[in-house]
Amino acid sequence: MCGIVGYIGSKSAVDILLDGLTNLEYRGYDSAGVAVNIDGQVELYKAEGKLQNLKDIVEAKKAHIEKSTIGIGHIRWATHGAPTTVNAHPHSCNCGKVAVVHNGIIENYKELRERLEKQGCVFRSQTDTETVAHLVASKYAQTKDLTEAVRLATQEIEGAYALCVIHQDVKDTIVATRRNAPLLVGIGENEYYIASDVPAIIQYTKKAMYLDDNQIVTLTPTSMKYIDENKNPLEPKVEILPWEPVALSKMGYKHFMLKEIHEQPDVVRNVLSGKLRAIDEAITLNEVTLDKDNLKNLNRIQVVACGTSLHAAMVGKYIIEQLCGIAVDVEPASEFIYRRTITDKNTLVIGVSQSGETADTITAVRQAKALGSHILIVTNRPDSTMAREADSLVPVNAGIEVSVAATKSYMAQVISFYLLALYMAEVKESAAKEDIQKLKHELIILPQKIEKVLSHKEDIQICARKFSGAKDFIFIARGINFPTALEGALKLKEISYINATGYTAGELKHGPIAMLDESMPVLSILMKGGVYEKILSNSEEAKARNARMIALTNSEDQKLKDLFENIMYVPEIDEMLSPALAIVPLQLLAYYIAEFLGKDVDQPRNLAKSVTVE
């Protein structure tokens, strides 16, 4: 949700900025821009639409722009103001000396803008960010100190921000700060990088420092000064980033999404590694600090998450309730935060988030923490805001996920819920030893089953081609695979823009069945187990209304061939673990439909990978 980059050193800045923005494009692609300082002049280059439009503008003036060794850049996911060039960042002030890039939302921008306009500031854009540029310019006019100007400006700002600022009169300096939006500084040899996220800098340096809220960093090519909001100097906490640049390559696949779907067998192995060693050994979750007493005193678990992470949490509910006998509520984080929530010290609150930066989920877990709950975070980013504020952590180890549509991180989250439930069941002694061992065994052999699905994709491709013209799609399932139906439908919606909905199969007859006719595909998720026969009956009901029936199943039942027009098979699997296998064909189905329709698979319209606004 917007990405910012900065560079200061002795190299030409513009290529570093554009590379950084390329690797942050998953955060938004409504417009892009850079600001550089050339011969003592701040110059802005901006373009609406994809980053390539900016790259074309820069290319045309490359010989001039590449002279700058300092610069800041931005990739936008529009919140305030349409995705036009004028609203693209960087923004500037009346005199054009200041350039600001911003990720977040300035909540009091209207009042600030009114006041600044009265003082003579002329606004060019409809954005909230432009207020910051004018504010910094006016503070700089008073103080002649850019760090102090940024500090004073942020004291008047309400809302969330990561900011990078340059000023024409201080030509060897970048000032950056943050509040409720991520920002890190990469450290090189006599050079510094700034970025919203690791992918922007990992090809240049692995040495970095994360900023905390309200901290301000002032960078020159040879120095880094780091203070808190009250001007107290701070010691930088430098870390080595645990990422490899190779994660940002498509490795021969046409899209990151396809590559990430194919990484899932290894993702499962990685998640299990070091946590599940053998079926007769206890699960180890080193960063979960709940002990036996904590777990005994828990009377409820509340899980908060958004989007795909919410669906993983819904699978988690079934597993934890089944194995641990604790009631689990799952709620979208965006709903949880705007009502009185009944959480306390006897409620474990679990936040699930691929990025660890989703604003709704951060707010939800912070509210719960203030009410005394233990906060456990399941995230793919142990370096994220959520992870750093957590009491307990389950790092899901899926590796960097570039495609906006989440696939391998969902798999990793679901597997993490099995581990967490098994861990709690072992501590609480709430499940039979044989059941625990059986599930552990199934988990260990799961990667081979996923590999089997990935090596037999023909049925899925046939189905994708056949149904790519559908306007609507219905996914039905029951029990532990209801979240699979929701996630399958979400994947299809996100990347193909086909209106897809997941229903519990039993609910179909209570209303949605009215929509069925010969133009409506209904995809039934029919995994063998307790609700198999029931879903079969619900599928018969849909077929009787002429719906076009598709099955996703692990059953060889011959009667399915009469009922379903297309069947996608997955290997035999225990019902309890089946969501981790059943999702794979649905990810591929969505992928092939979108690809067949010629959609922009990795960067679907209107979306951003990391949603850092509420």
> Which stretches of the chain bind ligand M6R, using CB under 6 A?
306-309, 353-355, 358, 361, 404-406, 494, 607, 610-611
Q: How far is the CB of 464 from ligand M6R (least distance, A)?
A: 18
Q: Three-state DSSP class for 374? A: strand
Nearer to ligand M6R, 166 or 492 (CB): 492
Nearer to ligand M6R, 406 or 593 (CB): 406
Q: How far is the CB of 246 from ligand M6R (least distance, A)?
A: 22
Quick one: which of 71, 108, 104, 106 has its CA closest to 90? 71
Nearer to ligand M6R, 369 or 545 (CB): 369
Residue 179 tokens, joined:
């509040």
What's phi and psi for 290, nearest 5 deg?
-75, 130
Residue 501 tokens, joined:
């909905």
Quick one: which of 121, 179, 108 has its CA closest to 150? 179
Element (H, E) at 38: strand 31-38
Tell me the torsion sign for CA atoms 567, 573, 575, 580: negative
Nearer to ligand M6R, 355 or 397 (CB): 355
Name the closest residue to ligand M6R (Cβ).
307
Q: How far is the CB of 308 from ligand M6R (least distance, A)?
A: 3
Q: Give start and end residues of each alpha helix (H) in 371-432.
A: 385-389, 408-428
Quote the CA–CA distance of 573 and 580 in Å, as a whole number.
10
Strands 472-477 and 499-504: parallel
Q: How far is the CB of 413 from ligand M6R (least distance, A)?
A: 8
Strands 184-187 and 192-195: antiparallel
Quote the CA–CA distance of 606 and 30 in Å, as a whole number.
8
Quick one: which of 79, 66, 68 has its CA closest to 31? 79
What's phi and psi for 36, nearest 5 deg?
-130, 165
324 included as an active-site residue: no
Query: If you count DSSP H runs as helices and E runs as strands, how many of each does the chain have, helices first?
Result: 20, 23
Nearer to ligand M6R, 90 or 356 (CB): 356
Nearer to ligand M6R, 136 or 313 (CB): 313
**Total residues found in the chain within this entry:** 614
Q: How far is the CB of 135 from ligand M6R (least distance, A)?
A: 31
Q: How far is the CB of 79 from ligand M6R (least distance, A)?
A: 15
Quote the CA–CA distance of 270 and 488 in Å, as a whole number.
24
Q: Are 294 and 375 in contact (CB under 8 A)?
A: no
Task: Write down the catalytic residue from 97, 457, 491, 609.
Answer: 609
Nearer to ligand M6R, 113 or 609 (CB): 609
Quick one: which of 439, 472, 353, 467 has its CA closest to 401? 353
Strands 392-395 and 472-477: unpaired
Q: How far is the CB of 378 from ligand M6R (least distance, A)?
A: 9
Helix 578-596 to helix 408-428 angle (10° resolution) is 170
Nearer to ligand M6R, 5 or 490 (CB): 490
Task: Write down the catalytic residue from 2, 164, 306, 324.
Answer: 2
Residue 16 tokens, joined:
């570093």
**b/e per residue, 500-524, with b = 16+ CB within 10 A?**
bbbbbbbebeeebbeebeeebbbbb
Nearer to ligand M6R, 68 or 361 (CB): 361
Q: How far is the CB of 380 from ligand M6R (least distance, A)?
A: 8
Burial class (CB in 10 A: 0-12, 13-18, 19+), 299: exposed
2 included as an active-site residue: yes
Strands 300-305 and 239-240: unpaired
Q: How far is the CB of 351 from ligand M6R (least distance, A)?
A: 8
Tell me which residues are annotated as active site: 2, 609
